[in-house]
Amino acid sequence: MKTQLGFALLAGIETELLVVAAVDTQTGKGPDAKPQPVLLTADIAVQAAAAAVLASGEFKAGANETVLLHTPVGLKARRLLLVGLGKSAKATANSVRNAAGTAVRFTKPRGIRELVLSLPEIDSKTLPHTASVRAAVEGALVGNYDSDTYRSDRTDQSVESFTLAASAGADQAALEAAFAEGVILGESQNFARALVNEPGNKLTPTILGQRAAQMAAEVGLGWEVHSTEKLHELKMGAFWSVAQGSAEPPALIVLRYEPEDVKDGPILGLVGKGITFDSGGISIKPSSNMDEMKTDMAGGAAMLGAMRAIALLKPRVRVLCIVCATENMPDGNAQKPGDVQTAMPITPDKPGKTIEIISTDAEGRLVLADGLTYARQLGATHLIDAATLTGACVVALGTVNAGAFSNDDATYDKFNAALALSGEKFWRLPLGDEYAEMIKSDIGDIKNTGGRWGGAITAAEFLKVFVEDTPWIHLDIAGLAWLEDSKPYIAKGPSGVGVRSILEWARSF
């Protein structure tokens, strides 16, 4: 989709579809309170064209609500679409992001191939125009993505042109910079979504490594992709224990972002779970919905998408990324419940932790254990990992929030602040010695599952063993990585959750 930022009066813009946002300014409560929709534009011609429908009560400006007007009087646009942001007091950059996505998704099935979205004119103190600009183009790009990649009868309904129209008196340089950022973030999120959408036979660990290397070369990242021999060299016994049951070789993906003018300071370690298909291994999953286990590499995809954005936005901080990619399969070489595996040692003179395998379906934490250790060995001073790790996190938080854990309040505060920009929802869950006790093993150091209760927390406690005192954040994105139903602003399928938040966390350094 071609994206551009323009500066012109709305009434004079010739387009198939002009989109204008509105808010509900009604503040009262009670049975007599009625919505009071107000357009977020000063253009008198647009206000006049929409006056009748606003007065009718048909359109209430609820979040992502739409109403379409054909041949609006006084405008050169052939259609006028009003999109609601919801209550004016609650309007945020994320409201704008979702409204832009809603407009694009409204457009796609109607054969409309171009649209112009008016930048919502809101008090800049309440919502900075730069934040709105960035969010709008992000939302448009995300809204334009569909997951029907392999349909033989696929009809490409992509929007070909998206223009964001700002007022002529705006700070053009600032808005253009924000727009460029939004394009990078939207495209990076879609890059991650495209990876998650791929079926297991089309995205093996080897192919994921190839896709990561291609992206890295395109945006100027340093990269390495290793396989079985390197895992043995590094004594990655936890990672290898998962990979040994598959005919497909594993891939250890390492990306590096090293600004030339930054020689000291923190080194951020991004670690992603890259299980390209998860059968559960010997502890095999039920057949129902197992097809969705192609998405078990969404944490790794989020890290790759974030690294793409980091490379293009060039923050002044060093970042390395590790994605541990493998299948989890139940062949004759697969590990068994009751086996004991030895994880990668942090230093050659220090033995690796021994892990009792209770369930081979608790495999994500095994690959992450070695990935986190390797990131520390490569010099990471701060760590963040992302994984579709536990169903328990979905039970706890549903599909509204993803889970977040941290051993360091200052590091987590940076991430929490980043959510205001990213618009993504994470909820911090606790850690503690009582939970750590639940993963102690009678035969080894720890076991890979602590039982049914508090499963998301005991999984995080397992990872915490391998980060020790390094400041660390763990993101359990199991509930949000794949959308079971379409929303007005995003299609059913891969969401790309985590990309924007991880990027903003990195930039905070």
pLDDT digits over 80-109, tens only?
999 999 999 999 999 999 999 999 999 999
Which of 2, 7, 1 has the alpha carbon at shortest distance from 118?
7
Distances (CA, A) of 234 to 93, 246, 334, 445, 459: 45, 20, 20, 20, 24
Write out the two tokens for 135.
């969010």
Percent of the chain residues past pLDDT 70, beyond the cut: 100
C-alpha dihedral over 354, 446, 474, 368, to 10 degrees? 30
Query: Is CATH 3.30.70.100 what the domain over 190-507 is classified as, yes or no?
Result: no
Q: What is the pLDDT of residues 438-490, one digit of tens each?
A: 999 999 999 999 999 999 999 999 999 999 999 999 999 999 999 999 999 99
Contacts for 400 with CB less than 8 Å, ≥ 6 apart: 425, 479
DSSP-derived pairing of the beta strands 340-342 and 426-428: unpaired
Q: What is the pLDDT of residues 59-73, one digit of tens each?
A: 999 999 999 999 999
Q: Which of 365, 376, 464, 500 is catalytic?
A: 365
pLDDT at 155 over 80: no
| Phi, psi values for residue 326, rounded to 5° | -165, 165
Q: What is the pLDDT of residues 214-231, one digit of tens each?
A: 999 999 999 999 999 999
What pLDDT does 306 receive?
A: 98
Domain boundaries, the chain: 2-151+159-168, 190-507
Q: What CATH code is assigned to 2-151+159-168?
A: 3.40.220.10
Choice among 16-25, 231-240, 345-354 with the minimum mean pLDDT: 345-354
What pLDDT does 124 receive?
A: 72
Distance CA 231, CA 505 (A): 29
DSSP summary character for residue 257 = E
Q: Are the C-beta atoms of 188 and 499 separated by less than 8 Å?
A: yes
Instruction: Let me know if 110 is a catalytic residue.
Output: no
Q: Which of 78, 108, 256, 285 is catalytic?
A: 285
Whether the domain at 2-151+159-168 and the domain at 190-507 fall into the same CATH topology:
no
Predicted TM-score (pTM) of the model is: 0.97
Instruction: Let me know if 365 is a catalytic residue.
Output: yes
pLDDT at 167 over 90: no
